[in-house]
Every structure is written in structure tokens, then in C-alpha cells.
């Protein structure tokens, strides 16, 4: 009779351990690239986030609920960094926040397997719902802040894909960047 809870808790442990291994692997990649970036005086975020993911994943592999909370801390630090890096530009925020948000949902789904208490199980649901609500508010804020300008007004932030001359500017930039290399090779370049 005492073995039944142990077997059932071990039966789902593979999911938490798999997510933990995934966090360690992603963290190692982020930390390695982040170290290189920090050495060339870039942002230390990737190194710190990678180390946080490694710690979080290692704790989750050992079935420690602290690993989930370490990841929550990494995600909480990712939000202001992403906003600082890209402002309210929705397209720039997506690659910075979507992946970490999906990992947050996976981590939240693991919390019941990391503990036997009922309170953390409810906290896991609260964490997932809270993170989803936070992302929803962030998406709405970005959509409202990133509304296109009214017709007839010039927008100084014209992108390369809009109809406001951005494509022409991008084409000129591309041509000017490659012209010296093509001339060095002796190739003729039209334009």
C-alpha cells in the first residue's frame, strides 16, 4: 500500500526530467553563445539566462521544485530585458519572449510532478494562468503601441517591407554594401 503513491509519482517523473534535460541543453547553448557575446562587450543577458536555465534544469532533473522557481526568475528577468532591447516592437518581441513563454508553460506543467503537496499543484495552475495573463496584457500593449500611423502622415520608422520607400532604401543599402566586394573581384555590377 505504501508503494502505490511512490510508483504513481515516479510514473510521471519522466516528463519533469525531460523538461529539465531540455532546459540544461538550451541553457548550455545560451551560456556558450552568451560567454562569447560578453567577451566582445555585448549583452550579458544570454550568459546569465543560460546559467539560470542550466541551474533550473539540473534542479528539475533531481525533482526539486526550486528548479521551477529558478526558471520563473529567469523568465521574469527576460521580460524587462526584451522590452529594453526592442521596445514595444511586436515583431522584435516575439523571438525574445515566445520561446521562453512556451518553456514557462512546460515548467509550470511539471510542478505537480516535482512535489506531493496539493498547494504547489494549485500554484502550478496559478503560475501558468498568471504567465498567460501577463503575456496577453503584453501582447495587447504591443498591439496598441504599434498601431500603424494614420494615412497621410509620414512615418519615420518605415520598415523594409512597407510601401513607404523602405524597400528602395534597403535595396540601396544592399547595393552599397556589396559594391566594393564585387569591384574587388573584378565583377561588373549593374547600377
Structure confidence by residue, pLDDT tens digits, 38-66:
999 888 999 999 999 999 999 999 988 88
Burial of 19 (0-12, 13-18, 19+ CB in 10 A): buried
What are the CA-CA distances from residue 22 to residues 98, 99, 108, 117 (Å)? Answer: 16, 12, 14, 25
Q: Tell me the C-alpha distance between 58 and 89, whole Å.
A: 34
Q: How far is residue 60's CA from residue 57's CA, in Å, rounded to a whole number?
A: 5
Q: pLDDT tens digit string along 110-152?
A: 887 777 666 666 666 676 677 777 767 766 666 666 655 555 5
> Which of 135 and 34 is assigned the larger pLDDT?
34
Lowest mean pLDDT among 2-11, 127-136, 175-184: 2-11
3-state secondary structure of 87: coil
- pLDDT band, very low/low/confident/very high, at 92 (cuts 50, 70, 90): confident
Say if CB 48 and CB 81 are below 8 A apart: no
Q: Are 60 and 107 in contact (CB under 8 A)?
A: yes
Exposure b/e, 145-177, CB count within 10 A at least 16 = b: eeeeeeeeeeeeeeeeeeeeeeeeeeeeeeeee
Q: Are 98 and 79 in contact (CB under 8 A)?
A: no
Domain extents in the chain? 3-145
The per-residue pLDDT for 2 is 44
Amino acid at each position: 500500500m505504501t508503494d502505490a503513491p511512490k510508483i504513481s509519482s515516479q510514473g510521471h517523473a519522466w516528463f519533469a526530467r525531460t523538461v529539465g534535460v531540455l532546459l540544461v541543453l538550451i541553457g548550455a547553448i545560451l551560456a556558450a553563445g552568451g560567454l562569447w557575446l560578453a567577451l566582445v562587450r555585448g549583452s550579458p543577458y544570454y550568459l546569465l539566462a543560460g546559467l539560470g536555465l542550466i541551474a533550473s534544469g539540473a534542479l528539475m532533473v533531481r525533482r526539486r521544485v526550486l528548479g521551477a522557481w529558478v526558471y520563473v526568475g529567469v523568465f521574469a528577468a527576460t521580460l524587462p530585458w526584451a522590452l529594453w532591447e526592442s521596445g514595444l516592437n511586436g515583431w522584435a518581441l516575439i523571438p525574445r519572449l515566445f520561446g521562453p513563454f512556451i518553456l514557462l508553460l512546460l515548467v509550470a506543467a511539471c510542478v505537480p510532478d516535482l512535489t506531493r503537496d496539493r498547494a504547489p499543484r494549485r500554484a502550478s495552475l496559478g503560475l501558468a494562468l498568471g504567465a498567460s495573463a501577463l503575456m496577453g496584457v503584453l501582447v495587447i500593449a504591443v498591439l496598441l503601441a504599434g498601431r500603424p500611423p494614420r494615412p497621410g502622415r509620414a512615418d519615420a520608422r518605415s520598415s523594409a517591407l512597407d510601401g513607404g520607400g523602405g524597400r528602395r532604401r534597403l535595396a540601396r543599402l544592399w547595393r552599397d554594401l556589396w559594391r566594393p566586394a564585387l569591384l574587388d573581384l573584378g565583377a561588373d555590377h549593374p547600377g
